[in-house]
Amino acid sequence: MSKITIVDIAKMSGVAVSTVSRVLNGHPDVGQKTRERILKVIKETGYVPNDSARNLKRTDAKCIGVLIKGITNPFFSPVIDIIEKEIDRQKYALILRHASADDDEADVALELENEKRLRGIIFLGGGAEQSADKLRQLKVPVVFSTIGSSVIDEKDMADFSTVSVDDRLEAKHITQYLMNLGHKDIAIITEAMGRRSVGHLRLEGYKDAFIERDMPVREDMIFYVDQNMEHFSIANGYRTTQRILSSGHKVTAVFCVTDLLAVGAMRAISDAGLRIPEDISVCGFDGMEIGRYYNPRLTTIKQPLDQISRETVKLLFDIIESRSSHRHIVFPGELSIGESTIKRYED
């Protein structure tokens, strides 16, 4: 039983391939009886059109590609959900593609572009990094979502759009919040990646807060996650916090650049027999659902993912329909105060 094609269907229905094709694509100009006959044969044989061949010929196709780096990150789940709905509302199809850690996202994007007939691409996670040149070869507009413009070279600003919060600024805010609670010995758990990673941006914001108050930035309070495991994972937060606790440094608050890290941190602190927030305050960044359900509730910077997602799609379509050129939209984050932070006790 070799694979069955449109030709077979045509033969079995006693019509020409073009007629079958018309039925397949919902063209109106085909007789009622002929249509039914063909449909019947299709159902019986279980024929499925070959998408490759289709895309090879097709000119239209209303598709938006969504490229996501590391499907593993639950942070993107709500974003994808909303983007999917929004694209649907525009009567477009969404093609979700995942790039594994070692894939070059730009390559995947280029592949996707001429494999399907895309009208636009949304990037979730990852970052432009070096591959901006490759990305520029894309013929369809690119919007980075939840990724700030600071991860992009200035010269690329006109070629891509970004929709996000200001990672650096918001990180400064939450650090200041901790300071206002009286904390001085504030450790940070972050990622040691390139200058354009969110980890680095949020670290910069942390530093900004100290610098603005003329307080020294203590390098021994900066803890980098284990490179050998998933960077922004609960487990890594746990392990890194253990390093903090055994470092001997006095620490009254920990800023985790990610909610997931914070969850791990809280568990590690509890396991060490310390109380949150009485002994150590913990805060995160992102505003993930789990933070609102954890015990204690996590203080964090809530990203307005709803707005970000919606605006991402809206902006993309504005560009596709040339109602707008590339823009860089920044939404304010919201300090969401939970039960994981408290005034520092005077000693």
Binding site for a second copy (CB under 8 A): 1, 3, 46, 48, 50-56, 71-72, 74, 77, 80-81, 84, 94, 96, 98, 100, 107, 110-111, 113-115, 133-134, 137, 139, 234-235, 238, 263-264, 266-267, 270, 289-290, 293-296
| Helix, strand, or coil (residue 171) | helix
Single out the residue of 39, 40, 46, 56 in contact with DNA (rule: CB under 7 A).
56
Closer residue to a second copy, CB minimum distance, 27 or 58: 58
What is the C-alpha separation between 112 and 67, in angstroms, rounded?
Answer: 9
306 binds, among a second copy, DNA, none (CB under 5 to 8 A by kind): none
Closer residue to a second copy, CB minimum distance, 84 or 156: 84
The verdict on 49 binding DNA (CB under 7 A) reads yes
Q: Are 266 and 294 in contact (CB under 8 A)?
A: yes
| Helix, strand, or coil (residue 334) | strand
Tell me how far, at minimum, the Cβ of 117 lies from DNA, in Å: 10
**What crossing angle do the helices spanning 305-320 and 77-89 adopt, rounded to 10°?**
40
Query: Omega before 332 cis (within 30°)?
Result: no
Single out the residue of 31, 85, 195, 275 in contact with DNA (rule: CB under 7 A).
31
Buried b (16+ CB within 10 A) or exposed e, 16-55: eeebbbbbbeeeeebeeebbebbeebbeeeebeeeeeebe
Single out the residue of 6, 64, 140, 342 in contact with DNA (rule: CB under 7 A).
6
Tell me how far, at minimum, the Cβ of 196 lies from a second copy, in Å: 22
Q: Are 248 and 239 in contact (CB under 8 A)?
A: no
7 binds, among DNA, a second copy, none (CB under 5 to 8 A by kind): DNA
Closer residue to a second copy, CB minimum distance, 111 or 212: 111
The verdict on 107 binding DNA (CB under 7 A) reads no
What DSSP character marks residue 190? E
Q: What six digits make up the tokens of 19?
A: 């007629």
